[in-house]
Amino acid sequence: MSFNDMSPIELGRRLRTARESAGLKQAEAAEAIEVARTTLVAIEKGERRIKIDELQKLAHRYGLSANRLLRREAVHVDLVPRFRRLSESSDPDVLEAAKLLNELVAAEVELEDLLGAGREYNYPPQKPLRSGNVITQAEEDAEALRNAFGLGAGAIPDIFSFIELTLGIRLYQRHLPSKISGLFTYDPSVGAAILLNASHPIERRRQSAAHEVGHFVATRDAPEVLDDDEPYTSREERYANAFGRALLTPRKAVEGKFRELTAGEDRLSRRIVILLADAFGISREAMVRRLEELGLVLSGTWDWFQSNGGFKLADVERVLGRKTLGVDQGKEEAAKPFSPKIGLMAYRVWKRELMTEGQLSDLLKVDRVTLREHLYELQDEESEADELPKLP
């Protein structure tokens, strides 16, 4: 779409989204094109048509190309302002993480649109919080979700695959400041998305992911920033926390495994805790606290373990008979400039000449040398696979 073909209202909307995603105030944008803030406001509302040289200056200030702003297929995902309205929004780390999530979703959706790859949303109905005990509702809703997708009462082997492939929620794992465990957001135009902190241990990320699914089930219209240091005081947070526990460690499964491992015992040993935590893929602390919650052990049991030496890594590996630090796909993916899925879609878009190398570099926020190496690597792989069977 050319500059003259786009309506002032649509162009103004795209400019406002680009400015907010760049974290700039209206006054800062107005200064970039040497106009009053009121003029910038009028441009963003579509009341005053922007000049081509002003468009180029703003695009540069926002870290974009003018062509990307004008491209018909361009996706303008507007997630950052949602997080800015949260009480935590004054924290620059939160806004930076929200901006990253915005960029990841926008890039994935734009590539999907260019390739005509529709995404299936297998979302269960939303279950608004009822009056009464939210912990009880969380347990019921988690069990209902498990039953709806045939998970049964056992442990979920791979919560990340369940979220992304079964539920159809966009899931990303990237390195974030330690205080941020995860972010969740939902927009009708792009669906639900979760960003997890790849710097955290995998057991903690599983818990964070399950917690965010709780927000997805009950309060998906409100964005969420998960900070494990914050007390769970609101009904929404207490629900999400309880839902996450119930999803990963359903009552019947935990009770059954607990009876199996404690048969003939009158004490809770470290070995039992280690085996239970490993069976459900969560941390030892989360496991003991779940046992306390279910009344299977006395309240304060975790504090006793902490005061009496805790759990040493050598003991954990001896009980499990293996090293606990295996391949962590989330951490490996976070170390790369983009995920394998995004990289494959980018190659297909480039191969079909739907986007130039420069446009892909801007979209994926990666330098052109790194992008070119990736594209040529996939091109070489494809040439070696010419003899493989073709898809219908």
Per-residue pLDDT tens over the stretch 235-272? 898 999 999 999 999 999 999 999 999 998 888 999 99
Which range among 38-42, 76-80, 277-281, 320-324 shows the weakest confidence by mean pLDDT?
Answer: 76-80
pLDDT digits (tens, 9 = 90+) for 297-333: 999 999 999 999 999 888 888 888 876 655 677 777 7
Query: Average pLDDT of 158-165?
Result: 89
Which range among 28-37, 60-69, 112-121, 163-172 shows the weakest confidence by mean pLDDT?
Answer: 112-121
| pLDDT above 80: residue 178 | yes
Mean pLDDT, the chain, rounded, equals 84
**106 found inside a domain:** yes
In the listed set 17, 47, 72, which residue is the last one of a domain according to the structure?
A: 72
Please calculate the CA angle 175-338-186 and round it to the nearest 5 degrees: 70
pLDDT at 135: 92
**26 found inside a domain:** yes
Residue 143 and residue 46 share a domain: no
Query: How far apart (Å, rounded) are the C-alpha atoms in residues 372 and 377?
Result: 8
Rounded-to-10 torsion of CA 121, 125, 130, 136: -80
| pLDDT above 80: residue 139 | yes
pLDDT at 215: 93
Query: Average pLDDT of 133-153?
Result: 91
**391 found inside a domain:** no
pLDDT at 109: 84
pLDDT at 242: 93
CATH number assigned to the domain comprising residue 134: 1.10.10.2910
Residue 64 and residue 187 share a domain: no
**42 found inside a domain:** yes
Residue 306 and residue 279 share a domain: yes
* Total domains present in the chain: 4
In the listed set 38, 72, 106, which residue is the last one of a domain according to the structure?
A: 72
Query: Average pLDDT of 131-154?
Result: 91
**392 found inside a domain:** no
pLDDT at 340: 82
- Which position has the higher pLDDT, 392 or 366? 366
Residue 65 and residue 115 share a domain: no
In the listed set 22, 38, 72, which residue is the last one of a domain according to the structure?
A: 72
Q: What is the pTM of this model?
A: 0.76
**389 found inside a domain:** no
Residue 99 and residue 21 share a domain: no
Of 366, 349, 318, nearest to 110 (Cα)?
349
Residue 268 and residue 185 share a domain: no
pLDDT at 293: 92
Residue 237 and residue 224 share a domain: yes
- Which position has the higher pLDDT, 312 or 117? 312
pLDDT digits (tens, 9 = 90+) for 187-224: 887 889 999 999 998 889 999 999 999 999 999 888 88
pLDDT at 77: 65
CATH number assigned to the domain comprising residue 60: 1.10.260.40
Residue 239 and residue 264 share a domain: no
pLDDT at 232: 66
pLDDT digits (tens, 9 = 90+) for 51-99: 888 988 898 888 877 776 776 555 556 676 566 666 545 678 888 888 8
**162 found inside a domain:** yes
**305 found inside a domain:** yes
pLDDT at 294: 93
Residue 178 and residue 220 share a domain: yes
Query: How far apart (Å, rounded) are the C-alpha atoms in residues 182 and 88?
Result: 13
| pLDDT above 90: residue 228 | no
Domain range holding 22? 1-72
| pLDDT above 90: residue 352 | no
Residue 255 and residue 232 share a domain: no
Residue 156 and residue 231 share a domain: yes
Residue 239 and residue 135 share a domain: yes
pLDDT digits (tens, 9 = 90+) for 355-379: 788 878 888 888 889 999 989 888 8
